[in-house]
């Protein structure tokens, strides 16, 4: 299935950011299938999937970032796409695109709907030859999709790669003769899929303009309220549900005091509990889910990573509890987190001392390996830390340290708290860290720098994708401290 690689659902993936990505980008398809060829799989056993629909976003105008990489947002908006009218792959988004007329789901439009939108708005599709995809923008909406031209490009790619064939999902998204702008009117008070003729609308039918959930035309609340089908008539938008349906696709109804619960789930039903009030909850969910303690132990400066090959989550933390690097895990089939009695890295680079390892951050590399960024005391001055990296073929280690450091300006106080970041739009890898001016002391206060005597800027260092070589020349400050802001940070 070489589609649905990305969508507005990316916002719930902690290792990704709210950045527009193509759902069927040929570059990712090529990268994701390459390991199969290395393993000797015959490509003739695989069919190449094609999508007759697109996935879309509501534009944010600027790049936005989630998780602990949020501090990159301001700088990367400047380095990459800072124009508030940014409306292409790599730009930020605020949420899914608006529902299509027939598919009636946020973030997706059928090819027929896209073609109708082109006619309606006069928007001009743009061919993205890097991705083998089309891009269409209008107002604050963006959608990426395939049409006859890009499908042919992908068929050519599939043939050249010796795939067994192609398949399309799905025929109803690119149907033949028909014009959704001229729906037949109901002649007997029925509407929608069960009407005669099928697809008859109530609008201007004389039976009432609203099509109820059971397929009858009318004009009162039972027809125009909860369950009303917008595809086959007009409906009252908003308000409180009467049948337990809610949210997108259900005319924006909220649950109010509905007996089953006040939370509107991602699938559009009212209820209570985590499955309704937790991830994807559309309304009524504020303060509905109580945060739970994951680990009842001292576990400072944690970083979180998912191992996609197993579905297990791992967390890494600063030295403590008898370990130079603490490790915890939440295994896929288990409900709780637990600490692991292991030492993922038993030495450091030649520039450092093996004790007081701070703020380890683990990232998954594209070549099925892992990198850990960490800070450790410098051999030349043990009162200051510097930032380095180590690599492993397993998320839990053992990690082999690199002898080169990433950042180690001892005159400025050293470097601490590294955090890795991969920008898919530019195919570049970065490390953000803090210059530890506090370590120089002499400024008063608990951190020794209350008067802001020593700067503590947040820095961004580009590194090689493979980490065969470490730093690339681009080194940029993100935030500069001032006596009133970051001097104690």
Residue-wise pLDDT tens digits, 13-34: 878 888 899 999 999 988 888 8
Regarding pTM above 0.95, the answer is no
Range with lowest mean pLDDT among 109-118, 172-181, 378-387, 452-461? 172-181
438 lies in which domain range?
A: 303-479
State the pLDDT at residue 105. 84
C-alpha to C-alpha distance for 357 and 321, rounded to whole angstroms: 13
Name which residue leads in pLDDT, 450 or 108. Answer: 108
Residue-wise pLDDT tens digits, 142-181: 999 998 889 888 888 888 788 888 888 887 776 654 455 5
Instruction: Please name which of 261, 254, 258 lies closest in space to residue 239, comparing C-alpha atoms.
Output: 254
What's the pLDDT band for 372 if we cut at 50, 70, 90?
very high
In this structure, is residue 258 part of a structural domain?
A: no
Is residue 486 over pLDDT 60? no
Instruction: Please name which of 432, 434, 476 lies closest in space to residue 455, comparing C-alpha atoms.
Output: 434
Instruction: Please name which of 224, 218, 229 lies closest in space to residue 239, comparing C-alpha atoms.
Output: 224
Name which residue leads in pLDDT, 394 or 366. Answer: 394
In this structure, is residue 210 part of a structural domain?
A: no
Considering the domain architecture, whether residues 170 and 316 belong to the same structural domain is answered as: no
What's the pLDDT band for 296 if we cut at 50, 70, 90?
very high
Helix, strand or coil, per DSSP, at residue 115: helix
In this structure, is residue 317 part of a structural domain?
A: yes
In this structure, is residue 216 part of a structural domain?
A: no
In this structure, is residue 160 part of a structural domain?
A: yes
- Looking up residue 121, the CATH number of its domain turns out to be 3.10.50.10
Range with lowest mean pLDDT among 57-61, 215-219, 239-243, 473-477? 473-477
Tell me which of 139, 174, 209 is where a domain ends: 174
Is residue 113 over pLDDT 80? yes
* Locus of tokens 């949020």: 70
In this structure, is residue 489 part of a structural domain?
A: no
In this structure, is residue 341 part of a structural domain?
A: yes
Task: Please give the DSSP secondary-structure letter assigned to residue 225.
Answer: S
Tell me which of 148, 174, 200 is where a domain ends: 174
State the pLDDT at residue 220. 87
Is residue 431 over pLDDT 80? yes
State the pLDDT at residue 233. 85
- Looking up residue 427, the CATH number of its domain turns out to be 2.115.10.20
What's the pLDDT band for 479 if we cut at 50, 70, 90?
low
State the total domains in the chain: 2
State the pLDDT at residue 488. 30
Range with lowest mean pLDDT among 15-19, 216-220, 286-290? 286-290
In this structure, is residue 230 part of a structural domain?
A: no
C-alpha to C-alpha distance for 146 and 100, rounded to whole angstroms: 16
Helix, strand or coil, per DSSP, at residue 409: coil
Contact 210, 222 (CB under 8 A): no
DSSP string, 145-206: E--HHHHHHHHHHHHHTT-SEEEEE-GGGG-SS--TTSPPBPSSSB-BTTSSSTTBB-TTSS
Considering the domain architecture, whether residues 318 and 169 belong to the same structural domain is answered as: no
Is residue 411 over pLDDT 90? yes
State the pLDDT at residue 306. 85
Residue-wise pLDDT tens digits, 49-100: 999 899 999 887 544 433 334 344 444 444 444 445 788 998 988 889 988 8
Is residue 188 over pLDDT 50? yes
- Categorise residue 76: left if φ over 0, alpha if ψ from -120 to 50, beta otherwise: alpha
Output the CA–CA distances (angstroms, integers) from residue 9 to 55, 57, 93, 140, 245, in the order listed: 10, 10, 11, 18, 21
Considering the domain architecture, whether residues 323 and 466 belong to the same structural domain is answered as: yes
Tell me which of 174, 195, 212 is where a domain ends: 174
């Amino acid at each position: 299935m070489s589609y649905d690689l990305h969508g507005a659902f990316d916002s719930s993936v902690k290792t990704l950011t709210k950045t527009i990505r193509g759902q069927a980008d040929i570059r990712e398809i090529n990268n994701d299938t390459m390991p199969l060829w290395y393993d000797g799989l015959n490509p003739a056993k695989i069919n190449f999937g094609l999508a007759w629909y697109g996935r879309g976003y509501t534009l944010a105008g600027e790049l936005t970032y989630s998780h602990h990489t949020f501090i990159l947002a301001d700088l990367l908006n400047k380095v990459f796409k800072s124009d508030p009218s940014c409306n292409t792959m790599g730009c930020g988004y605020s949420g899914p695109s608006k529902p299509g007329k027939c598919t009636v789901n946020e973030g997706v439009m059928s090819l027929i709907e896209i073609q109708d939108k082109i006619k309606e708005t006069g928007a001009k599709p743009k061919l993205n030859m890097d991705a083998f995809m089309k891009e269409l923008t209008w107002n604050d909406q963006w959608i990426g999709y395939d049409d006859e031209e890009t499908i042919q490009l992908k068929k050519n790619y599939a043939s050249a790669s010796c795939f067994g064939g192609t398949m399309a999902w799905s025929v109803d998204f690119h149907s033949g003769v028909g014009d959704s702008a001229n729906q037949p009117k109901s002649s007997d008070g029925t509407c929608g899929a069960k009407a005669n003729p099928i697809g008859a609308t109530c609008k201007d039918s004389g039976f009432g303009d609203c099509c109820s959930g059971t397929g009858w035309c009318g004009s009162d609340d039972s027809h125009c309220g909860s369950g009303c089908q917008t595809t086959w008539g007009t409906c009252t938008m908003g308000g409180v549900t009467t049948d337990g349906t809610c949210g997108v696709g259900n005319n924006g109804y909220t649950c109010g005091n509905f007996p089953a619960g006040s939370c509107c789930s991602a699938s559009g039903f009212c209820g209570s509990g985590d499955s309704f009030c937790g991830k994807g909850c559309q309304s009524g969910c504020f303060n509905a889910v109580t945060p739970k303690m994951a680990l009842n132990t001292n576990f400072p400066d944690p970083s979180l990573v998912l191992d996609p090959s197993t579905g297990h989550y791992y967390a890494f933390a600063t030295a403590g509890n008898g370990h130079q690097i603490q490790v915890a895990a939440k295994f896929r089939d288990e409900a709780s987190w637990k600490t692991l009695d292991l030492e993922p890295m038993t030495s450091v680079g030649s520039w450092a001392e093996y004790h007081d390892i701070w703020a380890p951050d683990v990232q998954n590399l594209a070549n099925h390996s892992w990198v850990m960024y960490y800070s450790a005391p410098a051999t030349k001055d043990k009162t200051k830390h510097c930032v380095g990296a180590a690599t492993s073929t397993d998320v839990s280690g053992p990690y082999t340290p690199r002898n080169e450091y990433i950042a180690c300006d001892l005159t400025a106080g050293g470097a601490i708290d590294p955090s890795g970041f991969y920008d898919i739009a530019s195919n570049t890898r970065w490390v953000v860290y803090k210059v530890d001016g506090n370590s120089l002391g002499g400024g008063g206060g608990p951190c020794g720098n209350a008067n802001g005597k020593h700067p503590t800027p947040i820095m961004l260092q580009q590194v090689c994708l493979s980490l065969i070589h470490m730093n690339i020349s681009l080194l940029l400050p993100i935030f500069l401290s001032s006596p009133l802001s970051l001097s104690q940070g």
